[in-house]
Amino acid sequence: MTFRKNIVITGASSGLGEGMAWRFAARGRNLALCARRTDRLDELAAELRERYPGIQVMTRELDVNDHGRVFDVFQEFWGEFGTIDRVIVNAGLGKGQPVGTGYFDANRQTIETNLVAALAQCEAAMEIFREQESGHLVVVSSFSAIRGLPGNVTAYAASKAGVSALADGIRADTLRTPIKVTVLQPGYIESEMTGRSRKTPLLTGAEQGHRALVQAIERETPKACVPTLPWAPLSVVIRLLPTGMLRKLTG
């Protein structure tokens, strides 16, 4: 396993991003954290520095839909650290409504944030990795990427399927090089986003979920459902379900 010292995490002010930041800090990694909410981001950075004084923690305000700013921020982190060993493309949006019900703007925002902005992050990261001839690109997709889903998650699932395919293509392009690519497909992990959705008996607690995410990242596996149980077996079931049963299950 390659030791990745300097790690960039987008969408780091809360949820999965914040949870991963705490886990990597405990492992002695330097962190470059970015998000739109700088008040929470700066508070998090201060807490991390106090708890783990041996690490470096940098922050930048970043709306990933400002694509030019994505490139600028990643270059700034690279300049300050000297090397970027891992970039975790985590920033995302979960809003959406059934297609054709008058909520085009919400569905468009979800696809723009989860796919187009993710492309900008991947481009910015890969420019650095290609120049360094090393690095680990991690894309946080979703279990919903496995198959098109009905209702409020149609656009969300499509955006995550797109970003999974994007990462798969980058991995194929960099095969047999020192650049590694991982796609994470989390199931329901306790966070602000899942807190706004309906309750599910399959919800994984935040601590367990964050631990599973970091373990999968550290293994640098090409693709992982997180946590493995129950989501890896369920992925097989979801792929095979008839559409009518899928609609009942997710409706």
Domain ranges of the chain: 6-250
The rounded mean pLDDT for the chain is 93
Cα(48)–Cα(42) distance, rounded to whole angstroms? 10
Residue 180: how many CB atoms within 10 A of its CB?
20
Cα(181)–Cα(213) distance, rounded to whole angstroms? 14
Whole-structure pTM value:
0.93
C-alpha torsion sign, points 217, 218, 220, 223: negative
Distances (CA, A) of 40 to 33, 34, 114, 134, 213: 11, 11, 22, 31, 22
User: Is 52 a catalytic site residue?
Assistant: no
Q: What is the mean pLDDT of residues 31-60?
A: 96
What confidence score (pLDDT) does residue 231 get? 87
> pLDDT tens digit string along 159-180?
999 999 999 999 999 999 999 9
Distances (CA, A) of 50 to 47, 91, 158, 232: 5, 25, 40, 37
State the CATH architecture for 6-250: 3-Layer(aba) Sandwich (3.40)
Q: Which of 17-21, 199-203, 245-249 is predicted most confidently?
A: 17-21
From 52, 103, 156, 188, active-site residue: 156
Q: Indicate if the pLDDT at residue 194 is higher than 60.
A: no
